[in-house]
Structure 1
Amino acid sequence: MRQRTVFDESWYRVSRSQVRLLPGVEMIRQMFRGEPWYVVCDKLGHRFFRVRPAAYRFICYLEDASSVEEAWERALEIDPHDAPGQGEVVQLLSQLYQSGLLRSDQAADIDALEDAKMREDKQKQKQRFSSLLFLKIRLFNPDPFLRKTLSLFAWLFTPVGALLWTLVFIWGALALIENWSEFADTSRSILGWSNLPYLYLSLIITKVLHEFGHAYACRRYGREVPEMGIMLLVFNPLPYVDASSCYAFARKYQRVIVGIAGMAVELFVAAIAVKVWAEGADGIMTRVAYNVAITASVGALLFNLNPLLRFDGYHILCDLLETPNLQGRSQSLMGWWVNKKIFKIDPGPIPTTSRREQVGFTCYFFASWVYRFLLMIGILIFVSKQFMILGMILALIFCVVWVFLPPFKGFKYLFFSPKLMNRRMRAIGIVTCFLAVVFAFLAFFPMPYSFRSEGIVKSADFQHVYTSSPGRIAKLVTPSGTMVEAGQVLVQLTNQELEHEGELIRIERERAQLLMHQDRSEQGTQLAGLKAFLKALDSRQAALNAQLESLVVRAPIAGRWISDQLHEVTGSVVPRGQTLGIVRAETGYVFTAVVHQRDAGRFSLVDSELKIYGQEGETLKLTEIEAIPAGQDDLPSAALGVAGGGSAGVAPDQQGGGSATETYFQVRGKINMTEASAPQHGQRGVARFPLPKTPLLRQWTHAIRQFFQQEYQL
């Protein structure tokens, strides 16, 4: 049940005024969650206010009443349960007056509204300062152009247009899937200096099309688009249009279509750009197409669609949930909770209508605040890596907006707000105790501390299977994945050269034996030489037999025979020393972690925890941990390099894995397996190594210092 305040201290200043809406103000009925609301539309100033049915009826009573008080008393007489209180009436009249929508017989009677207008002007100035990174500069009115060209694009908002969009999107998605590896490889150079002009040009193209998508959708359903200009987003000029008139649409689906239109245009353009890039030859056109695909898809999916930012996704969510002003009401609810539950003052009516809204607004407030803060930090880090001076300027602005301004507002409210007049000392004491407790907890209370390192799972006993002699793969005797015993035949090779050599040895042996028989029957002068020759043939035969025996590849140890791709090369010739697969025992596994130099100094050989990729729900224990003290450059597995899916940087000539870009230390530990665990040889995982408990403030300070040392060499 919505609370309301019946009486208000400013009522005497407006009660005797005769107030009317200006001619031409439009009132539109909308439905939210089955309840009617009314939108007050200012066609000249392009402002829109949603009011409840009770406020709408009060506005209607003003037309026939001789004073504000008479209209209010009539509202109480007709509907005493839902009639607005005096405070709500003053607030409603204040909003309408600030927008220039009221006419009064006595201007002096609305001094309270003038005071409210001055307060709002000050608030707008503060908002402009806090929105320094999101300034808007109006350039022209695009509505005449939209009216003349609407017939060219109106059909896109029909089922035929939706079908065309779907087909083009699928067409582009299939092209992206077919060329994904090349697309991902090209993205590594997206921020290169040579590509930045193409990237920025593509960003301008996609954003212009995005804004025109909103504009044509709004005009398609009959509303004016009065403004188009440039928005300085983090000092980066981007186009924008004012499509706020869509708030006046009576039907929800029309408002949602206007919100989706910009993203739909971007994804449509991205699909075409992907196809142009995939089919075109290397050149300026393909480079621009690739950058258009990146900016259109990333901008649409990660920013505009995100409801935690006040972009398209936010307004779409408000319409779908039928909850207007979601962010503002969530902030008002937080202020209401603080005043009501902590400062113990009467904050007025709660800005929600149900327990469900209270939970939803609270979750949205914290989620949006955290996301926006992290987004600002991400922008700051990205810009500072490219342009240090600009990054320092942004850091200063962020410190003012996010670090100094919120506490300043809070302390100003705490020490000077009239609402805390009789409870100021109590409120100051509560805030002081709260800050002291938070600081003491962060600075002195020990908390669990650890660091993480990526590594590779290996069988405790495994051996690679190599070819001892060159040959052609004739037969896979044992399929991959089979448990084998030591000495079991795995692969059968053939080598015609060795077979021919065996035939030659046999012929030479027969010839030598005939010569010996002949020499014995005559003089016997060549007998000694022939015996030496036969002995040499025996040595050659023994070596040949060993080579022929090695053509039968056997398991070196007992375990599981793994050779996933050997069946694809059956019949081909393999050289000597070629790896055919591995045989790994399944009696135990070890984990080899890569520990960076920055963590090596605080490492201790205690039992740790392990999570394996693909089996994150199971936490395993690492015991019998040992460290190799010498720094190394060769990775224990190519899977740990960036090319193999890991996070370790590798040298430019070692993209397949191998030599790391920085020296690291190896740490090995035995994996204690459980019934639910199923580690596999070669899987990547992350080990968590515990450290002595440390207060959070020291942990954060150490992490920030490491970040600056690593990224900026400070």
Structure 2
Amino acid sequence: MSQAGPLPGAALAEDAAEERETLDRENVQEPEQDPLEQPLPVLRPDLVVYKGPRAGDGSPTFTVYDPLSRTYDKIGWAEALLFERMRRPMILGELLKEINEQTSLSLTVEEIVMFARDVDSRGLTMSSGVKDVDELTREAAARETSPMRWLLFHYLYFRVPLIRPDGFLTATLNWIKLLAGRPAWLAYAIFTMIGVVLLIERFDAYVHTFTFFFNFKGIVIYGLAIVAVKVVHEFAHAYVAKGLGVRVPHMGVAFIVMWPVAYCDVTDAWKIADRKKRLLIGAAGMMSETVIAGLALFGWGVTGPGLAHSVYFVVSSVTLLSTFLVNLNPAMRFDGYYLLMDIWGIDNLQPRAFAVTRWAMRTKLFGMDLEAPESRLSRRRLWGMVVYSIYCWIYRLFLYFGIAVLVYYKFTKVVGVFLFAVEILWFIVLPLLREVEALVKLRKHFRFSMRTVVVFAVVVGFGLWFCLPMTRSFSEFGIVTPREHQIVYAPFSGTVDELGVERGQVVEDGALLVALTSEELANKVVQLEQQIEILQKQLFMLHLDDTGRSHIIQKEEEIESAQAQLSSLSEQLEQNKLYSEISGKVYEWDEDIHEGMYVARDHILGKIASLDDVFAFVFVDEERIDDLDVGDTVSFYPNSGEEECDGEIVNINPIRIEVIQQDAFFSTLKDDLPVIENEYGELVLKKSYYAVEVRFLEPGEAMRIGQRGQVWMETKPRSRLVDTLQFLYTILIKESGF
């Protein structure tokens, strides 16, 4: 018997239940007494069996409704016959004889015993006889759940009913039908097509509008729009279900990993035998959102800037994104999942697909001789279920990891670490352990072949690769810099009187590079000299006049200030000749400069460096610095794609780099390193790096100054298993506060 309806909180237990069922089939115990004399449990009289749609092979199916738990179970023809006959007390032999004589079925004792155990374990039978205290105690203990276990199961998914809309839906259904008639759908189609055309014409403007909502106000607006659209979405499900005669007991909010989403309980749709009608109920929400998106696109296209234009944009973008990214995703138990389930004609798709995938792995990878759990499905459909299962597992892995990382970095780190550990254990470690346990119990079905040898070799190889200490290559950013360099710039605005060098010229220390003159500075010097002369005469007159002696000190200060300015300007004029401070090559020079040309203050004229002594300045992450030693050989790969160059580590700075000065070589590293610029114009590193100096063994022309690249290095032999454990230990210790 397979579960047809969605059970809250059951998704996590489905894999384990399927596994136990598989193992039970392999290990059916023979009863001690004569099995034909064994009394059978009596099914509850309130259970209702509905006729279901035809299966893929044309066989009839049925749906069992349990009014106590409001769940639906999908059964086949054989189970339906057993449900019909087990309404009264009888023994196994009597039932077996009745089935074999009155039907064309041929059931075995083991099949009936397994069915009886299944319905009894699901609570579908009436209690017969008196159970001893120990048995009742065991059953009660099995039903009890510790608070921690309840939290682990239910933080992933739980529901909060808010309203009982069935009466309201019945009263308003006829009015809503007007919105779903042929004229209405024709109008929706016309407006939507016009909206799509307008969107294509102004797509750049539409996308650019998103940037205006990247703020707190925009988030609030989007949140309100999502709530409004999702209310319409869920009522669309409800009205279509009500129109098809399905009762809608309640609507509310479901929490998926603590994220709220609206829901509408249309579980009674399983009573409908026609899959097309069930498909309409499942697609109603997305159809309503598509209509809203089309109308909103039309409104956005025909309105100008303003409030209405913004509202149309928000509504259209919300509906489009939620429909294509969330509702259509079959890995989540939303509309896309149920649509895929009805399109394929496979009820309870997810656990059945997971069981098929486990069977495929056991038979294809380990050569086991096992019967397919879905023998009535085509081979193409079976492999479609395998692809779907793998997609679901990968999606769940990234979804839960992403949520844990988000909680860790944005909210409470302790909770984030806890969730991360829970998801590692629950979604990776425990499934692997359960699969290993199942493989051990099914070892008698192993069939050794070349494929199994290859699989075992890959598994062993991966284990060795993960556990054994071995060297690993990694790369860090580096830039080619000279050990000595000089930046030649104009100390003041002026005119070029003399040029002593050109680009590519080799110069010696002290060689004349350029001479400048500044008429502006010269005029200021003359003006200051005249001003000082006047001030000195005024001071002399104050000494002669007794009434002006009180102004002598002030006048002397004015003279000192003017003389200081004159001295500063004179020093600047004396710097009109710029000389080389090192011996090297002029590797950059402003070729537009010529004699008589005016240059502005601080204008860079050129750069000089000793090209015979260049090295790579490498920024190494603090997590890697302990793997390096002076003398290690490395390789520098230029970003320009030129040939790599080998080098040797000659120095490792033990002091961490925190700030990068904005000089000639490090002023443009914003695209290569995680940095932010502070108020002083310095580049502050967001991560911890250490400076490593690499000497090139045979520097070629590709190793030109300022060349960026990746420096590849090797670690000391280390085990990936040890690294992983150390990382987890560091995180736990760091966040625990010890």
TM range (shorter): 0.5 to 0.7
The one-letter code sitting in structure 2 at the alignment partner of 1:209 is V
**Alignment partner of 2:373: what SS?**
coil
**Alignment partner of 1:50: what SS?**
strand
Q: What's the CA shift string for 1:147-189, capped at 9, x where partnerless? A: 1111122355555454344334323323333332232223235
Instruction: Please point out which of 465, 480, 491 is paired with 1:441.
Output: 465
Q: What's the CA shift string for 1:325-380, capped at 9, x where partnerless? A: 22212333455578889999998873554554553333322221111211233344
1:302: how far off?
0.9
Change (3 A) 1:349 1:189: same
1:305: how far off?
0.3
The one-letter code sitting in structure 2 at the alignment partner of 1:294 is S
Moved more, 337-346 or 233-242: 337-346
1:313: how far off?
1.0
Contact 1:380 1:394 in 2 (8 A): yes
Contact 1:13 1:110 in 2 (8 A): no
Contact 1:608 1:623 in 2 (8 A): yes
User: For residues 373 and 107 of structure 1, what CA distance do their matches in structure 2 show?
Assistant: 47
Q: How does 1:343-492 map to 2 (within 5 A)?
A: 350-353=373-376, 355-382=379-406, 387-389=410-412, 392-403=414-425, 407-408=429-430, 420=441, 438-444=462-468
Contact 1:605 1:625 in 2 (8 A): yes
Partner of 2:511: none
The one-letter code sitting in structure 2 at the alignment partner of 1:398 is F
Change (3 A) 1:342 1:50: same
Instruction: Please point out which of 36, 40, 50 is paired with 2:74.
Output: 50
The one-letter code sitting in structure 2 at the alignment partner of 1:400 is V
Q: What's the CA shift string for 1:482-527, capped at 9, x where partnerless? A: xxxxxxxxxxxxxxxxxxxxxxxxxxxxxxxxxxxxxxxxxxxxxx
The one-letter code sitting in structure 2 at the alignment partner of 1:203 is I
Instruction: Please point out which of 665, 668, 672 is paired with 1:630.
Output: 665
1:231: how far off?
1.3
The one-letter code sitting in structure 2 at the alignment partner of 1:318 is M
Q: What's the CA shift string for 1:233-265, capped at 9, x where partnerless? A: 343433211122223321221122222111122
Instruction: Please point out which of 232, 240, 248 is paired with 1:209.
Output: 232
Structure 2 residue 329 is the aligned partner of structure 1 residue 306 = yes
Change (3 A) 1:275 1:333: same
Contact 2:61 2:74 in 1 (8 A): yes
Q: Which has the larger radius of gyration?
A: 2
**Alignment partner of 1:323: what SS?**
coil
Q: What's the CA shift string for 1:385-429, capped at 9, x where partnerless? A: 5x333x6524422321333575357658978x9995999xxxxxx
Q: Report the number of matched residues.
A: 511
The one-letter code sitting in structure 2 at the alignment partner of 1:130 is F
Q: How does 1:285-364 map to 2 (within 5 A)?
A: 286-333=309-356, 350-353=373-376, 355-364=379-388
Instruction: Please point out which of 120, 143, 150 is paired with 2:173.
Output: 150
Change (3 A) 1:598 1:447: closer
Contact 1:608 1:690 in 2 (8 A): no
Contact 1:157 1:217 in 2 (8 A): no
**Alignment partner of 2:320: what SS?**
helix
Change (3 A) 1:624 1:97: closer
1:211: how far off?
1.3
User: For residues 324 and 113 of structure 1, what CA distance do their matches in structure 2 show?
Assistant: 34
Change (3 A) 1:609 1:83: farther
Structure 2 residue 295 is the aligned partner of structure 1 residue 260 = no
Instruction: Please point out which of 132, 152, 155 is paired with 2:155.
Output: 132
Contact 2:353 2:388 in 1 (8 A): yes
Change (3 A) 1:240 1:404: closer
Change (3 A) 1:222 1:161: farther
The one-letter code sitting in structure 2 at the alignment partner of 1:19 is V
**Alignment partner of 1:222: what SS?**
coil
Change (3 A) 1:137 1:51: same
User: For residues 623 and 383 of structure 1, what CA distance do their matches in structure 2 show?
Assistant: 45
TM-score under structure 1 length normalisation:
0.56
Q: Share of identical aligned residues, percent?
A: 19
The one-letter code sitting in structure 2 at the alignment partner of 1:86 is E
Q: How does 1:178-189 map to 2 (within 5 A)?
A: 178-189=201-212
Instruction: Please point out which of 110, 113, 118 is paired with 1:94.
Output: 118
Change (3 A) 1:311 1:359: same
Contact 1:47 1:99 in 2 (8 A): no
Change (3 A) 1:269 1:414: same
Change (3 A) 1:404 1:58: closer
The one-letter code sitting in structure 2 at the alignment partner of 1:221 is L
**Alignment partner of 1:195: what SS?**
helix
Contact 1:345 1:419 in 2 (8 A): no
**Alignment partner of 1:31: what SS?**
coil
The one-letter code sitting in structure 2 at the alignment partner of 1:377 is F
1:132: how far off?
0.4
Q: How does 1:242-257 map to 2 (within 5 A)?
A: 242-257=265-280
Change (3 A) 1:236 1:350: closer
Q: How does 1:570-609 map to 2 (within 5 A)?
A: none
Partner of 2:40: 17
Contact 1:147 1:219 in 2 (8 A): yes
The one-letter code sitting in structure 2 at the alignment partner of 1:229 is G
Q: How does 1:467-616 map to 2 (within 5 A)?
A: none
Please list every run of 5 or more consecutive structure 1 residues that lacks an aligned counterpart in the other structure: 424-430, 454-594, 611-620, 642-646, 652-659, 664-668, 672-686, 709-714
User: For residues 157 and 124 of structure 1, what CA distance do their matches in structure 2 show?
Assistant: 49
CA RMSD across the alignment: 5.7
User: For residues 172 and 435 of structure 1, what CA distance do their matches in structure 2 show?
Assistant: 54
The one-letter code sitting in structure 1 at the alignment partner of 2:73 is F
The one-letter code sitting in structure 2 at the alignment partner of 1:171 is I
Instruction: Please point out which of 63, 83, 105 is paired with 1:59.
Output: 83
Q: What's the CA shift string for 1:26-52, capped at 9, x where partnerless? A: 321311213221112345643211111
1:223: how far off?
1.1
Q: What's the CA shift string for 1:96-142, capped at 9, x where partnerless? A: 77355x447x3559999999986984699957633403321122322
The one-letter code sitting in structure 2 at the alignment partner of 1:371 is Y
Contact 2:47 2:65 in 1 (8 A): no
Change (3 A) 1:173 1:411: same
1:197: how far off?
1.6
Contact 1:27 1:40 in 2 (8 A): yes
The one-letter code sitting in structure 2 at the alignment partner of 1:365 is S
Q: What's the CA shift string for 1:595-619, capped at 9, x where partnerless? A: 9997999997667999xxxxxxxxx
Contact 1:55 1:84 in 2 (8 A): no
Instruction: Please point out which of 217, 226, 230 is paired with 1:194.
Output: 217
